[in-house]
A and B are shown apart, each in its own frame.
Chain A
Amino acid sequence: MKTTMHRRDVVVALLKDRKDLLVVAGLGSTAWDISAAGDTDLNFPLWGAMGNAAMFGLGLALAQPRRRVLVLTGDGEMLMGLGSLATIGVQRPRNLCVVVIDNERYGETGMQVTHTAAGTDLAKVAQACGFASAAQVRSPGQLAGLRRKIHGARGPHFAQIKVVAEKLPLVLPPREGVLLKARFRRALLGKDADLV
Chain B
Amino acid sequence: MKRSESDAWPEAIFSTLKGAGVRQVAYVPDGGHKRLIELCIADREMRTVVLSTEEEGIGLLSGAWLGGQRGALLMQSSGVGNCINQLGTVRECRFPLLMLITMRGQKGEFNPWQVPMGQATPAVLQAMDVVVNEANSAAEIAPAVDAAARLAFGSYQAVAVLISQAVIGIKSFQDQSSR
Q: With A49-B86, A177-B89 in contact, is A59–B60 under 8 Å at CB?
A: yes
Number of interface residues of B (CB under 8 A): 32
Report the stretch among B35-43, B91-99, B119-127 that lies at the interface: B91-99
* Interface assignment of A4: CB less than 8 Å from any CB of chain B: no
A188 near B89 with CB under 8 A, answer: no
Within 8 A of B (CB), among A151-180: 177-178, 180
B51 near A188 with CB under 8 A, answer: no
Find the A residue at minimum CB distance from B89. A49
B92 near A44 with CB under 8 A, answer: no
* Interface assignment of B50: CB less than 8 Å from any CB of chain A: yes
Which residues does chain B contribute within 8 Å of A188, judged by CB atoms?
Answer: 66-68
B79 smallest CB distance to A (angstroms): 13
A55 near B69 with CB under 8 A, answer: no
Which residues does chain B contribute within 8 Å of A57, judged by CB atoms?
Answer: 63
Known: A48-B88, A188-B66. 13 other contacts (CB 8 A): A22-B67, A52-B56, A52-B58, A56-B60, A59-B67, A60-B66, A63-B68, A64-B68, A81-B56, A87-B56, A90-B49, A91-B47, A185-B68
Q: List 20 A-B contacts (CB under 8 A).
A: A47-B92, A49-B62, A54-B59, A55-B57, A55-B59, A56-B63, A58-B63, A59-B62, A59-B63, A59-B71, A61-B63, A63-B24, A63-B69, A81-B59, A84-B59, A91-B47, A91-B49, A178-B92, A185-B65, A196-B68
Q: Which A residues are closer than 8 A to B by beta carbons?
A: 22, 24, 44, 46-64, 81, 83-84, 86-87, 90-91, 177-178, 180-181, 184-185, 188-189, 193, 196
